[in-house]
Structure formats: structure tokens, C-alpha cells
């Protein structure tokens, strides 16, 4: 507890401002249908350059929390989830809005989001050091096996086709090999391009694969039908329903625990968390017949689980260095850009930084509460901005942000090329999250494999005889077989 109190002392005016800005922009981007939490973090990555470590991380965590919570705004008013995690919110919140209770739905959503996030933050603080303490015993063999297990996440985030997901995951791993070999110094896949000597620009890849590809998809959809906003009268009394939400404390706690648990499972995500929490709330409710027609319990269950998922997803990311889905993959990239490699050694070497991250996460949730409370009408108005204005503005922001880091036009061309490939991947059902997961974990797997072979004199046997390493490899095999069987059963 004392360490956490000391962590809050690290936050000066700049750090607090960074969290506020990140949360504010995250809510706005999350409220725009089609712009995911991963894209929100990717768009704000360039802003972390020039900031100190705590401020940069606070900015990204604020964007993560804000984007997940912001997805509820269009879900309530337009029946369009801003983020995948808000799908279950539409089941009852939209009927409430159509019945003239949009303000109440928004208020319940804000309060449930904050409490779900804070509960997950407490669990994150209590559980993470315990997991990291066990992981500190890992050697190169265990880290390699852990990376292999992490790469199996690609199967879970592959959408409808496991084969397609593996293909783009391998593409990400191929990108991770570009540049000078870290052991021998031999140049690989640089094709004489000086800008690739140290590898691909991680920021350019992340912004391209998530932001630019999504912008191209949005351009393609601009000719589709548009949805009308609810009247401004339906937003009366749109303030956080704290007392009403707390009166459902059992539902709030159980849904938040579901969110944390699902978030900690790689590949699950907010949509699974919110739908599972919604189903459990309906199953054990005395008023189950009201669900689907404007039941407040449905909104509380969905939003608390959706936002609790964020804290759960941070547990494997911080303790093991494994990103569980797209948003945490981008967040890992942001930490690496800051010179931080997530994993158990971080708890041992930089405990002040770890507790600073914990404190930033809690502060981001508090900031989210006040920003949504005071700015709800602004976020609703932003939904009315035509995409024909937003898309060029966001694209220019992406290009300027990527170019400003190294002042190298090649990074912009790389961003565009990766963005077009990401668009094609999405267009033909391949998905884009496996690319970043393969890029990040591919390098970790290769480094620890070669380090292990050097340590063991070229002997492969320790990788499958050391108990923890063998256990992780077996778990990866089980995970792969289970995912493949589930995929084959799909019609």
C-alpha cells in the first residue's frame, strides 16, 4: 500500500494532464462507431514522444479506458456499438433510449463503467505481483515457451478462419526479422534500405495496420445508409447514476469479476466479457423477462464487465509480456517505444514504474467518470460530424505523427503500405490483430530461442525437459488443438 501511495506522488501536473487528454480523446474515438480501442491507442502513440515515461503511459492507459467506455454512447443512442465490447449494451440501453430514458441509460453506463474499471484495478494490483514473482524464475527456455503460448493467441483472434489468422500472424513474425540480426549483425530483408537497418518502425506498423486500414474501410462504407440521432430531449438527466448503480452491488461485483476473468484470458476480449456477464445477469435475475426491453440491470452488467476487462487484460500483458488482443498488443508496442519491455523482470527492476502504471490506471478511471459526466452532450454532438470531415483529419494526424518521430518519409510510406495490406486483410476476412501479435512476440521468441541454444550449447532437450517450459508448451498445444476443434465445428 505504501508503494502505491508513493506511486501517486510521481504524478505532477503534466502527468495528470496527459491522463485527462488521453481519456478525453479515447472517449471521443470510442464513441465513433468503427474506431476501436486499439485504433485509439495507435492514433495517440505519436503524442507519447517527448513525454516522460509515466506521462506517456498515462496517456495510453487513459485512451484505452476512455475508448472502451466511450463505445457505449452510440450503442445507447444509435443501437451501434462504438467498440465490440458494447454489443451487449445495445440489448437494453437502446430500448431505454427509445422509451425516453436515454439519460438514465447513459448515467448507468458511466457509473457501471467506472466501478467496473476500479474493481479490476484493485484485482490488477493484488494479483500481478504474485504472478510476476513466479515468472521471475523463468530462463530463456521458459520465455521461449511462453512466447509460443502467446503466439497461440493468434488462433483466438483470427475471426472465422484459423488458417487466415495464422497466415497474417506469420506475416507479422516475418516483419519482426527485418533489420540487422541482434546476434550476428547480418542484415536481413533490408533490400538496401537504410531506414530498415534497425528494423521496421513499430509505430508506423501499428498506426498503419489499425488506423489507416480502418480509415480505408470507413471510406468504403461511406456510401452506406446513415443512422439518425435521438432527439436532444432524450438526453435530459444524463448524469452518473452512482447510488442507483451501487444499489445493484451484487450484480456490479459479479459482472466485474467476470470481466476481469475474461480479460485475463488471451484472445477473449470485451465482447465476450460483456455478453457473458449479460447472460449471467439475466439467468439469475428475478426480472429476466424484462431483459431485452429496457432493463437497467442489463446495462450495468454489460458495461461493468466491459470496462473490468481492461484491468484483466493488463495482468498477462504486464506480468508475462503477452498481449491478449489488439488493444493490449498496441499498448505493448507503446511501452516498447518508451523503452519498456513488459514482463516479470519489470516488477523486480522497476517496481516504482509498475506501481506508477497501476496508479495511472486508477486515475484514468476516475478521470473517465468526470469527463463523461461533464462532456456527455459534447460526445453526442461529435457523433453528428460527417465522416467525410473526420476521415481526412484523422489520416493527416496519422501521417504527421509517424513522420515527426524520425523525420523520415520512408516511415510514412511504410505506414501507407502496411495500411493497404491491413485493409486487404480485413476485406478478405484475415483480420489485423494477429499481425501485431506476431510482430511483437515473434522477436521475443527468436531472441530467447537463440539465447537458450547458446546457454545449453546447442542442445534442444532442455526446452522440453525443464518442467515449466514443458508445461507451457503442452498448454500451447492444448490451446491450439482446442481452438482448431472449435473452428472446425463452425458451420
How far from the centroid of its chain's Cα atoms is residue 382's Cα?
A: 23
Q: 455-467: string of b/e by CB count within 10 Å (b at 16+)?
A: ebeeeeebbeebe
Burial class (CB in 10 A: 0-12, 13-18, 19+), 223: exposed
pLDDT in tens, 431-465: 777 887 788 778 878 888 888 888 888 888 888 88
What's the pLDDT at 160? Answer: 59
- In this prediction, residue 341 carries a pLDDT of 83
Q: What is the pLDDT of residues 405-429, one digit of tens each?
A: 778 889 899 999 999 998 998 888 7
pLDDT at 397: 80
> What is the pLDDT, as a whole number, of residue 155?
63
Segments of the chain scoring below 50 in pLDDT: 228-234
Handedness of CA 53, 59, 62, 68 (dihedral sign): negative
Choose among 383, 108, 33: nearest CA to 229: 383
Cβ atoms within 10 Å of 298's Cβ, excluding its own? 30
The pLDDT score that the predictor gives to residue 20 is: 93
- CA torsion sign for 407, 42, 225, 70 is negative
Amino acid at each position: 500500500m505504501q508503494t502505491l501511495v508513493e506511486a501517486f506522488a510521481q504524478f505532477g501536473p503534466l502527468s495528470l494532464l496527459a491522463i485527462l487528454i488521453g481519456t478525453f480523446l479515447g472517449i471521443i474515438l470510442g464513441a465513433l462507431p468503427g474506431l476501436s480501442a486499439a485504433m485509439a491507442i495507435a492514433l495517440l502513440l505519436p503524442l507519447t514522444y517527448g513525454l516522460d515515461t509515466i506521462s506517456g503511459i498515462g496517456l495510453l492507459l487513459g485512451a484505452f479506458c476512455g475508448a472502451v467506455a466511450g463505445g457505449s454512447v452510440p450503442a445507447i443512442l444509435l443501437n451501434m456499438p462504438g467498440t465490440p465490447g458494447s454489443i451487449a449494451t445495445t440489448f437494453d440501453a437502446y430500448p431505454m433510449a427509445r422509451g425516453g430514458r436515454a439519460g438514465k441509460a447513459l448515467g448507468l453506463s458511466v457509473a457501471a463503467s467506472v466501478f467496473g474499471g476500479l474493481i479490476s484495478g484493485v484485482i490488477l494490483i493484488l494479483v500481478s505481483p504474485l504472478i510476476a514473482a513466479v515468472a521471475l524464475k523463468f530462463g530463456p527456455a521458459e520465455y521461449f515457451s511462453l512466447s509460443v503460448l502467446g503466439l497461440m493467441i493468434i488462433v483466438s483472434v483470427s475471426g472465422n478462419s484459423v488458417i487466415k489468422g495464422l497466415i497474417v500472424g506469420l506475416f507479422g513474425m516475418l516483419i519482426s526479422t527485418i533489420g540487422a540480426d541482434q546476434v550476428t549483425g547480418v542484415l536481413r530483408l533490408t533490400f538496401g534500405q537504410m531506414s530498415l537497418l534497425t528494423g521496421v518502425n513499430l509505430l508506423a506498423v501499428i498506426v498503419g495496420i489499425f488506423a489507416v486500414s480502418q480509415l480505408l474501410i470507413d471510406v468504403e462504407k461511406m456510401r452506406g445508409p446513415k443512422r439518425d440521432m435521438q432527439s436532444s430531449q432524450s438526453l435530459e438527466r444524463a448524469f452518473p447514476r452512482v447510488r442507483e448503480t451501487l444499489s445493484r452491488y451484487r450484480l456490479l461485483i459479479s459482472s466485474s469479476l467476470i470481466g476481469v476473468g475474461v480479460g485475463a484470458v488471451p484472445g477473449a476480449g470485451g465482447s465476450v466479457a460483456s455478453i457473458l456477464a449479460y447472460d449471467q445477469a439475466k439467468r439469475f435475475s428475478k426480472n429476466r423477462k424484462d431483459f431485452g426491453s429496457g432493463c437497467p440491470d442489463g446495462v450495468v452488467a454489460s458495461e461493468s464487465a466491459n470496462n473490468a476487462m481492461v484491468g484483466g487484460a493488463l495482468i498477462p500483458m504486464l506480468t508475462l509480456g503477452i498481449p491478449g488482443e489488439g488493444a493490449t498488443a498496441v499498448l505493448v508496442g507503446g511501452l516498447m517505444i518508451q523503452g519498456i519491455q513488459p514482463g516479470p523482470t519489470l516488477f523486480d527492476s522497476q517496481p516504482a514504474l509498475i506501481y506508477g502504471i497501476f496508479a495511472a490506471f486508477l486515475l484514468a478511471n476516475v478521470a473517465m467518470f468526470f469527463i463523461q459526466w461533464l462532456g456527455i452532450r459534447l460526445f453526442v454532438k461529435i457523433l453528428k460530424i460527417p465522416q467525410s470531415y473526420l476521415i481526412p483529419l484523422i489520416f493527416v494526424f496519422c501521417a504527421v505523427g509517424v513522420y515527426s518521430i524520425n523525420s523520415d518519409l520512408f516511415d510514412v510510406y511504410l505506414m501507407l503500405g502496411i495500411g493497404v495490406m491491413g485493409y486487404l486483410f480485413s476485406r478478405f476476412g484475415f483480420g489485423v490483430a494477429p499481425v501485431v501479435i506476431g510482430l511483437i512476440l515473434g522477436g521475443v521468441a527468436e531472441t530467447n530461442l537463440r539465447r537458450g541454444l547458446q546457454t545449453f550449447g546447442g542442445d534442444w532437450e532442455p526446452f522440453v525437459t525443464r518442467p515449466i517450459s514443458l508445461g507451457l508448451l503442452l498448454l500451447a498445444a492444448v490451446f491450439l488443438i482446442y481452438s482448431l476443434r472449435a473452428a472446425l465445428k463452425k458451420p
